[in-house]
């Protein structure tokens, strides 16, 4: 069946990335498919109809959405009208559970089959969400092997499609490393609130490290949704990078990064890292009460232990970050060991082709 209309809803920068690649895969399989999307700049570039740039607004966490209630209610109303009037052939929700949870019942009421690509982290907090998804979703398309087991045990239709980053990040080549003149990556996050909280810590940590390593260089990986001005005055030795192919990321000897997709990207490249995460205190208090896992970095969650250090809230100081980074730069054996442990995580995530496998399921089960 051709000429189908599919609605895709993604709400953050990583969701925008994965949704855009899924849209391209859908169109490769059926060029007649039309896609309407809520997402970010990447979805805007590939969708037939772009409904709203939600990903660039940084509406995440527990407290920040409260500040954006009028906008979110208006967008929800627009999507309800879209579903009722246009009757898409399928809804694809991409992560971003807090908002997508409100869109799924609209699709169900209109008898529009709903697929969930990139599961919310039900294994980290609020496991009751599995019961809600079971009622509202035709199939979960999950990207971690343990998620497939979790949903199967709950009798939720599910398929493990592999991890989308394996399509984007090539296996790193072996190379010699000079830890006396290292290249350090700074990845403060993509949202304005993350940048504001993490960047001062990263800049000062870089300055501290460079005092004893004058040849050290830094690469600040800027988010597509942020202008250069968002990053302020750069420390000596740091340059801004904008890339989508991970070529420069693969050259890093070490990364200072915000918890999020960046930790898994670094793991797939075998780049040791220090993970830092600072939230607003109201958001942190709620998260601490709800989250039930030991680690926040996906690399550590997948490994089942603390392969790389995590510094959260009051621990996330420039001095502590620099000290943890110096351990990697001063111990070549530790650096090699962590590099190999991170690459083992890559091998656990299956083969490339995630977006294509997900598109195949969606097109076959929404016909």
pLDDT in tens, 129-163: 899 999 999 999 999 988 999 999 999 999 999 99
Q: What pLDDT, on the 0 to 100 scale, is given for residue 261?
A: 85
For the entire predicted model, the pTM comes to 0.79
Mean of the pLDDT values across residues 344-357? 93
Residue 247 or residue 126, greater confidence: 247
- The predicted-structure confidence for 73-85, as pLDDT tens digits, reads as follows 999 999 999 999 9
- The predicted-structure confidence for 259-280, as pLDDT tens digits, reads as follows 888 999 999 999 999 999 887 6
Q: Hey, which CATH number is domain 183-347, 3.40.50.620, 3.30.365.10, 3.40.50.2000, 1.10.340.70? A: 3.40.50.2000
125 has a pLDDT exceeding 70: no
- Alpha carbon distance 299, 178 (integer Å): 24
Mean of the pLDDT values across residues 294-321? 89
Q: What pLDDT, on the 0 to 100 scale, is given for residue 259?
A: 87
91 has a pLDDT exceeding 60: yes
Fold classification of 5-163+351-365 is: Rossmann fold (3.40.50)
> SS3 sequence, the chain?
CCCCEEEEEECCHHHHHHHHHHHHHHHHHCCCCEEEEEECHHHHHHCCEEEEECHHHCCCCCCHHHHCHHHHHHHHHHHHHHHHHHCCCEEEEECCHHHHHHHHHHHHHCCCCEEEECCCCCCCCCCCHHHHHHHHCCEEEECCHHHHHHHHHCCCCEEECCCHHHHCCCCCCCCCCCCCCCEEEEECCCCHHHHHHHHHHHHHHHHHHHHCCCCCEEEEECCCCCCHHHHCCCCCCEEEECCCCCCCHHHCCEEEEECCHHHHHHHHHCCCEEEEECCCHHHHHHHHHHCCCCCCCHHHHHHCCCCCCEEEHHHCCHHHHHHHHHHHHHCHHHHHHHHHHHHHHHHCCCCCCHHHHHHHHHHHHCC
Residues carrying CATH 3.40.50.2000, the chain: 5-163+351-365, 183-347
| pLDDT band, very low/low/confident/very high, at 1 (cuts 50, 70, 90) | very low
| Average pLDDT score, the chain | 91
40 has a pLDDT exceeding 60: yes
């Amino acid at each position: 069946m051709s000429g189908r209309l599919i609605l895709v809803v993604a709400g953050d920068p990583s969701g925008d990335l994965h949704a855009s690649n899924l849209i391209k895969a859908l169109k490769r399989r059926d060029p007649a498919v039309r896609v309407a999307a809520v997402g970010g700049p990447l979805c805007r570039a590939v969708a037939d109809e772009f409904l709203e740039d939600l990903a660039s607004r940084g509406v995440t966490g527990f407290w920040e959405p409260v500040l954006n209630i009028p906008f979110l209610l208006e967008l929800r109303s627009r999507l309800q009208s879209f579903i009722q009037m246009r009757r898409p052939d399928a809804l694809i929700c991409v992560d971003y559970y807090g908002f997508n949870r409100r869109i799924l019942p609209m699709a169900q009421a209109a008898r529009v089959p709903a697929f969930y690509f990139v599961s919310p982290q039900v294994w980290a907090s609020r496991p009751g969400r599995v019961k809600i998804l079971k009622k509202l979703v035709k199939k979960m398309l999950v990207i971690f092997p343990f998620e497939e087991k979790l949903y199967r045990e709950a009798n939720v239709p599910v398929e493990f499609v592999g991890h989308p980053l394996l399509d984007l990040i090539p296996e790193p080549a072996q190379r010699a490393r000079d830890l006396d003149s290292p290249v350090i990556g700074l990845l403060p996050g993509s949202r304005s609130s993350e940048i504001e909280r993490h960047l001062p810590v990263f800049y000062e940590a870089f300055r501290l490290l460079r005092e004893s390593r004058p040849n050290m260089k830094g690469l600040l990986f800027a988010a597509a949704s942020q202008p250069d001005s968002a990053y302020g005055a750069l420390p000596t030795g740091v340059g801004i990078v904008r890339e989508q192919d991970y070529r420069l990321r693969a050259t890093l000897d070490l990364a200072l990064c915000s918890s999020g997709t960046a930790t898994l990207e670094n793991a797939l490249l075998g780049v040791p890292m220090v993970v830092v995460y600072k939230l607003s205190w109201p958001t942190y208090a709620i998260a601490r009460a709800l989250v039930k896992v030991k680690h926040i970095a996906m690399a550590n969650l997948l490994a089942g232990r603390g392969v790389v250090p995590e510094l959260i809230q009051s621990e996330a100081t420039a001095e502590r970050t620099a000290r943890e980074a110096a351990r990697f730069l001063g111990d070549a054996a530790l650096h090699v060991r962590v590099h190999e442990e991170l690459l083992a995580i890559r091998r656990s995530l299956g083969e490339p082709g995630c977006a294509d496998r997900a598109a195949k399921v969606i097109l076959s089960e929404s016909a």
